[in-house]
Amino acid sequence: MLVYLLRRLLYVCPVAIGVSAICFMLVHVAPGDPLTAIMAVDATAQEQEAMRAAYGLDKPLPTQYVIWLGKAVQGDLGKSIASGRPVAGEVIGAVQNSLVLAFAASLIAFPLGIFLGFLAGYFRDSWIDRAVTTVAIAGVSLPNYWLGIVLVIIFSVTLGWLPAMGAGDGAWMWDFTHLSHIILPAITLSVVPIGIVARTMRALVGEIYSMDFVQALYAKGLHRGDVLRHVVRNAAPTGLSVMGIQLGYLLGGSILIETVFNWPGTGFLLSNAIFQRDLPLLQGTILVLALFFVLVNLTVDVAQAIIDPRIKRS
């Protein structure tokens, strides 16, 4: 197990470097000058050059990347062009809010998706299977930002039960006031993962129940609960992989959902950075989210190896 873990860690290093290079290059490919947002219209050529030198934009792109990566490794992601504050501080605050939202959405999405998937797979080709499949397809197909607007209209505007936007005052706490702000965005963010997890688990469970070893277990006289335990063990590795990808999606948040609910997470931060052409903030946010996704995939790989020893041997 230790050898497998070390090998996976070695694989992560070049992936992380490649991700950092892609994050750096993507924001530079976009047209426009990021300094136009803060530079005076009548700025002289000398003032423009001084501003570019202050943000390191006067150097060649390879040199900019090496300098940026060296500082990023030390935790320095530069300063925001729009606000002048350190990018690391703004990203950390937004990541904390996105983690809270992702945790709440995963508590809804994963248990419900697994339950619906197992239910549909166990009762395959029945009305229960068709009902679950319809719900899953609807969840994947519905635009989540539209669903968020509908939920706001119903529960905030019409009924007045829940706040329409924001994350509450002050630092996040697991109290009633803050939880009331997270209910609607968490439900909206969980709809797509529910559909994906349910459809995946339905296909897995249905396929496993059709295998010969399941019939052999029944022939040995095992009860349905014992057989179900074997089915869960065989479905767990693939299910974990799918949920890991969805967890990365939840951690990244959604620009549209966080914009609809004015949730101060990474999606909302990315939206502001894009419209303000704030390259340091955009690069830092994308890098942190990408590294989170890499870390989640590493965790899922290790968990799969623990559950299924065949993965380690392969």
pLDDT tens digits, 85-96: 888 888 888 888
Looking at residue 112, what is its pLDDT? 92
pLDDT score for 182: 87
Average pLDDT, the chain: 80
Beta-carbon-side half-sphere exposure of residue 75 (alpha carbons within 13 Å):
2
The pLDDT, as a whole number, for residue 311 is 58
Cβ atoms of 9 and 15 closer than 8 Å: no
Q: Closest Cα to residue 289, out of 253, 243, 264, 258?
A: 253
240 vs 254: which has the higher pLDDT = 240
List phi, psi (to 5°) of 79: -115, 145
pLDDT tens, position by position, 42-75: 667 777 777 777 767 777 778 888 888 888 888 8
Q: Enter the pTM of the model.
A: 0.79
Handedness of CA 200, 205, 210, 211 (dihedral sign): positive
Q: Which fold has domain 90-313?
A: MetI-like fold (1.10.3720)
When mean pLDDT is compared across 81-85, 252-256, 306-310, the lowest value belongs to 306-310
Task: Pick the closest to residue 118 from 57, 195, 199 (CA basis).
Answer: 199
DSSP letter assigned to residue 37: G
Q: Give the C-alpha separation, 196 to 206, whole Å.
A: 16
What confidence category does residue 41 fall into, taking pLDDT thresholds of 50, 70 and 90? low
Cα dihedral angle (40, 46, 48, 50), rounded to 10 degrees?
A: -120
Q: Where are the domains of the chain?
A: 2-73, 90-313
Mean pLDDT of 181-190: 88
Amino acid in position 19: V
Instruction: Give the distance, in angstroms, between the CA of residue 225 and the centroid of all CA atoms in the same chain.
Output: 34
Q: Which residue has the higher pLDDT, 169 or 290?
A: 290
* Top mean-pLDDT range of 21-30, 131-140, 244-253: 131-140
- Number of alpha helices (DSSP H) and beta strands (DSSP E) in the chain: 13, 0
Considering only CA atoms, give the Rg of the chain. 24
d(CA 154, CA 118): 31
DSSP code of residue 36: G
pLDDT beyond 60 at 191: yes
Which pLDDT does position 71 carry in this prediction? 83
Is residue 234 a contact partner of residue 221, using CB atoms and an 8 Å limit?
no
Judged against a pLDDT cut of 60, whether residue 172 lies above it is answered with: yes
Which pLDDT belongs to residue 40?
A: 64
